[in-house]
Structure 1
Amino acid sequence: MRIVLDTNVLISGILNPHGAPGSILNAVLNEEVTVLVDDRILSEYRDVLLRPKFRFPEDYVESVLEFLECGLPPITAGPTSAAISDSDDIPFYEVAIAGGADYLVTGNDKHFPAGQLIVSPRTFLEILRRPT
């Protein structure tokens, strides 16, 4: 399964490994899902993870980013015509569309167009854990 992780889900998963976002990161580590990224998303991940309030060492941040990059090469995404209220969220939607993501997992679904692609961390876990 291919997903795009909004930055808020990545950060929440690292800070709280026992919550829904943390369980999603475990699924990524266990190769149950593949995270789609592009250079813009990796740059945002890096910028946010390196904020002083999180106190993550730079080598830890680089390890996280390298792991996320190892699944697939970065996606080349074109512009979207979708109405997205927060311009910082546009790359996530564009990569989800261009990369054929099954889901874009975010804690801020109000910023994205309504549809089946956009899901909360809890909803994604329910989908992931459904029997096949």
Structure 2
Amino acid sequence: MKVVLDTNVWVSALINPRGTPANIVSHAVEFDLATSEELLAELERVLRYGRIARRYQLTDEMVDDYLMAIRLDCEVLNFTHDIQVVQEDPDDNAVLACAVHAAADYIVSGDSHLIDLKIYAGIRILTPGEFLVELDRRA
């Protein structure tokens, strides 16, 4: 099973180690993760954003280590895309494109623009909570 985690899931996993997104990341040995250079760049921008970095006391070293761990745990794809499905938040299209290029089975996101799609190109789009239920069902 291959999974693409949206940026908001990666961020939540880091800033709340007891939350559902962190639980998903800790279960990553049970499935394959994929991401893209574009999504990693977005994640880095978010984590280094001044207000977020200060609020959660994220040092440059913490962010660097987190990004390196993700690179080691994920298949990292590099591609260009022209998917324009989500008009309200065009950045969400990068998540869809990554999932398509990775031939993913699932996208996990907390973003309503993606969740409302429910499925795209045969890829199920689930909230973190829904994905944990799916993992339990498959176990």
Match of 2:69 among 50, 67, 70: 67
Corresponding residue of 1:22: 22
Structure (1 or 2) with the greater strand fraction:
2
What amino acid sits opposite 1:93 in the alignment?
A: L
Distance 2:103 2:130 in 1: 19
Q: TM-score, normalised by structure 1?
A: 0.85
Preserved CA contact (<8 Å) 1:36 1:75: no
Q: How does 1:106-125 map to 2 (within 5 A)?
A: 106-111=109-114, 113-115=117-119, 117-125=124-132
**Aligned-residue CA RMSD (Å):** 2.0
What amino acid sits opposite 1:92 in the alignment?
A: V
SS at match of 2:4: strand
Deviations 1:42-100 (A, max 9, x none): 10010111122333111221111112112324243532253442111111110011111
Q: How does 1:1-132 map to 2 (within 5 A)?
A: 1-28=1-28, 31-52=29-50, 53=52, 54-70=56-72, 71-76=74-79, 78-111=81-114, 113-115=117-119, 117-132=124-139
**In structure 2, do the counterparts of structure 1 residues 91 and 131 end up closer, same or farther at CA, with 3 Å as the change threshold?**
closer
**In structure 2, do the counterparts of structure 1 residues 7 and 73 end up closer, same or farther at CA, with 3 Å as the change threshold?**
closer
Preserved CA contact (<8 Å) 2:47 2:58: yes
Deviations 1:24-56 (A, max 9, x none): 11112xx22332111110100101111223331
Consecutive unaligned residues of structure 1, counting only runs of 5 or more, are none
**In structure 2, do the counterparts of structure 1 residues 15 and 56 end up closer, same or farther at CA, with 3 Å as the change threshold?**
same
Preserved CA contact (<8 Å) 1:4 1:101: yes
Preserved CA contact (<8 Å) 2:16 2:22: yes
Consecutive unaligned residues of structure 2, counting only runs of 5 or more, are none
Distance 2:2 2:40 in 1: 16
Runs of 4+ with deviation above 6 angstroms: none
Q: What percentage of aligned pairs have identical amino acids?
A: 27
